[in-house]
Amino acid sequence: MKFLRNHFINGLMILLTVRIGLIGLLSVPHLLMAQAATDLPALKNFILIIGDGMGYNAIQATDFYQGARQPFEEFPVRLAVSTYPAKAGENKTENPLTNDQSGSYDPDKAWKDTGYVRKNVTESSAAATALATGVKTYNSAIGMSVGFDTLLNLVEIAKSVGKSAGVVTTVPFSHATPAAFVAHNKSRSNYSQIAFAMLFNSRCDLIMGCGNPQYDDDGRLQEKKWKNTRYVGDSLLWVQLVEGSGIRTQFVVNGKQQVLQDSDGDGSPDPWTVIRDIGDFRALGNGPAPRRVLGCPEVYSTLQQSRSPKSGETRDSQPFFTPYLNSVPSLAEMVQGALNVLGQNPRGFFLMIEAGAIDWAEHDKQKGRLIEEMTGLTKAVRTIVEWVGKNSNWEETLVVVTADHESGYLWGGLPFTPLRSNGPGKLPVMKFNSTDHTNSLVPFFAKGAGSEMFRNYADELDPERGPYIQNTEIAGLIRLLWLK
């Protein structure tokens, strides 16, 4: 197990190396120990893009299909990330450290034993908690440690220093990854509880994602019988949110009166402006914007990945064989709106964006739909880069693109066989060797304020992927820069 290191800041930085095993906190490299807080870059905006399940070969397959590298592959800082959890099983004991399913990553075993990376793997909630809080935890945890302590996340840190904060996803907004950046719960499966916590216990300024119970996976209105309302809390709350959009601050939740949080610090609770229509998402991208936004498109599970296949589509079909739904926004359009909302704050913001259905396509071994979801992520990154150029600059904004874990054990054939291109516009030779996650290293790309500092954390070496960091060290650096 790597030594994970915690830091404390009092005027000038005092950096202390602490060996704490499975539940290590935020790491700081020895190289920074003498550096004064005033020497650190001023980080105004931090944008974190997570391709859920996006391994190296998911990117390679997309490069082959598009006939070009992805824009984030040109970012100046390119490393790898280890994703293992503190505890691979769910936590069902008050003494979790006695469990022998502790996570680790051995670079040599990973490339010599094709079965090694399939063992003791993380899942999205534990990985997202590590990315959001700087602490490794057990599988199924949402912002909780292995000892069930509540962990401080990046949304809470951003709000504590006067910044705005939001999360955007292509899957239900109360799903594992966005939930871990906003809420705290012992199990990711408690969707209703998590939705209530995200909407009422957080000062988050923006939440966007699927889970709209009034529509199915093809965007068809369910007039007589709604889909399961768990992703939005419950049916009563959903009706109150929609009818009270932009106005209502008091709700009846589980039979009790509940008041929304004060998100902007003016002493008054702030209402959610609820948007669902594709036109409203597009309008949100420019001009005056509401102070606080809950965006839930007119679709249930995912923006596009879960749409019904056209006759003849198989797992091996080319991307876009089945036309996209035209009633829901793209991830890029949601991101454009999120940037416009959060960018109103002169003190800056934190935004987490998840291309969550990459993972869903990989679990289903859908080659074409994997490329579709990767294409959506690419367009979202281009939108971000354009926004930085027009509304900010790389001296004050940091953009990171990474993954929470790899899914599908994707290779050109059996593990370690390279993918082979069939030319632009055609699926490459590729094969999913698993329907689950793996413990493989995932890619990391960074550009902007403080990005070069990530190199100081890359003190471990993989024979194929090169220098790598721990997933906890991403939040560690942001906390260092914002709480200096």
Cα separation, 300 vs 215, in Å, equals 6
The position carrying tokens 């075993």 is: 109
228-234 long-range CB contacts below 8 Å, 24 or more apart?
229/192, 230/174, 230/191, 230/192, 230/195, 231/172, 231/173, 231/174, 231/175, 231/191, 231/195, 232/174, 232/195, 232/296, 233/192, 233/195, 233/196, 233/199, 234/192
Cα separation, 451 vs 137, in Å, equals 25
Asked whether residue 21 carries a pLDDT value surpassing 50, the answer given is: no
The CA–CA distances, whole Å, from 47 to 5, 42, 410 equal 24, 15, 27
pTM of the model: 0.93
Phi, psi dihedral angles at 72 (to 5 degrees): -75, -15
H helix runs in 75-168, sequence order: 107-112, 124-133, 154-160
CATH number 3.40.720.10 is the correct assignment for the domain at 42-482: yes
Angle between helices 124-133 and 472-482 (to 10 degrees): 30
pLDDT digit string, tens, across residues 39-59: 899 999 999 999 999 999 999
Tell me, what's the pLDDT at 6?
A: 33
User: Residue 434 corresponds to which tokens in the numbers above?
Assistant: 């698993």
Cα separation, 97 vs 91, in Å, equals 10
- 16-29 CB burial, b ≥16 within 10 A, e <16: eeeeeebbbbbbbb
Cα torsion through 428, 432, 436, 439, rounded to 10: -70
**What's the mean pLDDT when you consider all of the chain?**
91
The strand pair at 164-172 and 349-355 is best described as: parallel
Asked whether residue 19 carries a pLDDT value surpassing 60, the answer given is: no
Strand positions, DSSP E, 110-205: 138-139, 164-172
Tell me, what's the pLDDT at 425?
A: 98
Strand positions, DSSP E, 220-265: 250-253, 256-259
Asked whether residue 3 carries a pLDDT value surpassing 90, the answer given is: no
Cα torsion through 470, 475, 477, 482, rounded to 10: 180
In this structure, the number of other CB atoms found within 10 A of the CB of residue 100 comes to 8
Q: Which helix (H) or strand (E) holds 77?
A: strand 77-82
Asked whether residue 24 carries a pLDDT value surpassing 50, the answer given is: no
pLDDT digit string, tens, across residues 447-483: 999 999 999 999 999 999 999 999 999 999 999 999 9
